[in-house]
Amino acid sequence: MHIGAFVLLLGFVVLMFGLYRWQRGRDTLAPGVFAGLLLGVAFGALLQLSRNWAVAPGEVLPWIEMLGDSYVNLLYMLVMPLVLTSILVAVVKVSHTQALGKISVSVLGVLLGTTAIAALIGVAMADLFGLSAAGLVEGTREAARVEVLNERIGRVSDLSIPEIITSFIPRNIFLDLTGARSTSVISVVIFAVLLGLAALAVRREFPQEGAAIERFVHVAQVWIMKLVRLVMAFTPYGVMALVAGLIAKSSWADIANLFGFVVASFCAIGLMFLVHGLLLLVNGVNPLHYFTKVWPVLVFAFSSRSSAATIPLNVETQVDELRNSPAIANFSASFGATIGQNGCAGIYPAMLATMVAVPMGINVWDPMWLGTLLAVVVISSFGIAGVGGGATFAALVVLPAMGLPVTIAALLISVEPLIDMARTALNVNGAMTAGTLTQRWLGDEVPGPEVVEG
């Protein structure tokens, strides 16, 4: 390793140790997460500048990315055990199938409704900034991405809505517990609900055995929540490593070339955050108090670019900070990771559709065309997990359905990571907003959170 690279790596270790000393003893993660974010940005910028000092950042980045990726892997490890035990406990405690049905309908209604609003905002921003696919240039990386997209589109074009919904139903729960399928989270939710209903039936017929099951489920939840809190303690350091890696690898030249699209995307995402805040305000929730409590979750979602990996932190924050019922928190976090994602499945495909439609002479504000686009976006956002998830797959579903080419999805590859960070934060906020609104609407019908010692 070059001496300069070694010095940079040693500096990163010193910064992380300093963050540990500063964070130690604090009651909440929020200050540490914010400090990790700032240190990550600063160190990532330092790695960018080190290219001018004849230092190869490529010798340092693998070690930093190892730390960030390891933390994300630990969070993925938590997802399935947390979803299974938490949903199971929620069903056993709710004990009314009617309440579970209301939770599901309310959460899905908010997720899909806000996705339709997000798509409308995406169209408006693309039109306002005068974005058009005609001005984009295809390079070597983009050409390679086109070939990949052409392969993938064959996998999504033949899927019907019934097939997508069928993919949610678990066939091999052990396979889904490994997260092997894109719909594994929803499948585990369905399995946990059915297992919980079976436990309620046992409790009615055999009270003694039912009480034993309830005790076992409670012990399992306490155990898993202890594990969650152990992993959550590494959040400031994981955020620092993830952000440092992202900043160091960002290409400012690519961002400058697609500056209009980047700005339009961030404006659309910002407006959608305002919509979430307005919905909370109308329903009696103070948006400032809400965002003060959830911003550490948004920071992690921003740096990790993974809605699924954010599920543990999402659930914990909803229960501990927002005081949402565990049942509502788990349903909204789990559904929100795969269904109705405002950023990836709402804003992004709508903007791309507009950018392609304009040079083709299509009036994007024609009520028929706009209505069709919004309907397609909402439907595809519900089933996007069935074809692999993510903004690219949302575009692969929406664009062909509207009779538009998909090549544009490849032409934006250079700025995808930057925009995807903000989109993921919006997706996760949409899930927490759905949970908070559902708690506000159902209130007394669902038991509130209990303190689980960890």
Would you list the DSSP string of 120-163? Answer: HHHHHHHHHTT--GGG----HHHHHHHHHHHHHHHHHHT--HHH
Residue 47 to residues 8, 52, 239, 275: CA-CA distances in angstroms? 8, 10, 17, 37
pLDDT of residue 293: 93
Q: Does residue 227 surpass a pLDDT of 70?
A: yes
- The residue whose two tokens read 């399928």 is 181
Q: Is 101 exposed, middle or buried (0-12, 13-18, 19+ CB in 10 A)?
A: exposed
Ordered DSSP codes for 212-232: HHHHHHHHHHHHHHHHHHHHH
- The residue whose two tokens read 């949302």 is 394
3-state secondary structure of 305: coil
**Where does the pLDDT of residue 257 fall: very low under 50, low under 70, confident under 90, or very high at 90 and above?**
low
3-state secondary structure of 284: coil
Ordered by start, the domain boundaries in the chain are 3-445
pLDDT of residue 183: 73
pLDDT of residue 27: 73
Residue 134 to residues 148, 233, 253, 352, 369: CA-CA distances in angstroms? 21, 48, 20, 12, 20
Residue 264 contacts residue 121 (beta carbons within 8 Å): no
**Where does the pLDDT of residue 232 fall: very low under 50, low under 70, confident under 90, or very high at 90 and above?**
confident
pLDDT of residue 140: 42
Rounded to an integer, what distance in angstroms lies between the CA atom of residue 245 and that of residue 247?
6
Q: What is the mean pLDDT of the chain?
A: 82
Residue 128 contacts residue 264 (beta carbons within 8 Å): yes
- Token pair of 225 as six digits: 């929540």
Residue range 92-118: mean pLDDT, rounded: 85
Residue 245 to residues 59, 61, 405, 434: CA-CA distances in angstroms? 12, 6, 33, 31
Percent of the chain with pLDDT over 70: 83
212 vs 251: which has the higher pLDDT: 212
Residue 214 to residues 94, 173, 220, 238, 410: CA-CA distances in angstroms? 12, 21, 10, 35, 51
Q: Is 325 exposed, middle or buried (0-12, 13-18, 19+ CB in 10 A)?
A: buried
Percent of the chain with pLDDT over 90: 27
Residue 191 to residues 94, 176, 194, 198: CA-CA distances in angstroms? 16, 10, 5, 11
- Token pair of 144 as six digits: 């390679």
- When mean pLDDT is compared across 25-29, 94-98, 155-159, 397-401, the lowest value belongs to 155-159
Rounded to an integer, what distance in angstroms lies between the CA atom of residue 316 and that of residue 126?
36
Residue 122 contacts residue 351 (beta carbons within 8 Å): yes
Show Cβ contacts of residue 48 under 8 Å, excluding neighbours closer than 6 positions: 57, 247, 248, 250
**Single pTM value for the model:** 0.77
Residue 437 contacts residue 277 (beta carbons within 8 Å): no
245 vs 206: which has the higher pLDDT: 206
Q: What CATH number should be reported for the domain whose range is 3-445?
A: 1.10.3860.10
Show Cβ contacts of residue 358 under 8 Å, excluding neighbours closer than 6 positions: 126, 127, 131, 132, 133, 364
**Where does the pLDDT of residue 435 fall: very low under 50, low under 70, confident under 90, or very high at 90 and above?**
very high
- Token pair of 141 as six digits: 């990386």
- When mean pLDDT is compared across 55-59, 222-226, 263-267, 320-324, the lowest value belongs to 55-59
| Residue type present at position 45 | A
Rounded to an integer, what distance in angstroms lies between the CA atom of residue 117 and that of residue 8?
45
Handedness of CA 63, 68, 74, 80 (dihedral sign): negative
Rounded to an integer, what distance in angstroms lies between the CA atom of residue 185 and that of residue 379?
19
Q: Does residue 144 surpass a pLDDT of 60?
A: no
Residue 384 contacts residue 185 (beta carbons within 8 Å): no
Residue range 161-190: mean pLDDT, rounded: 81
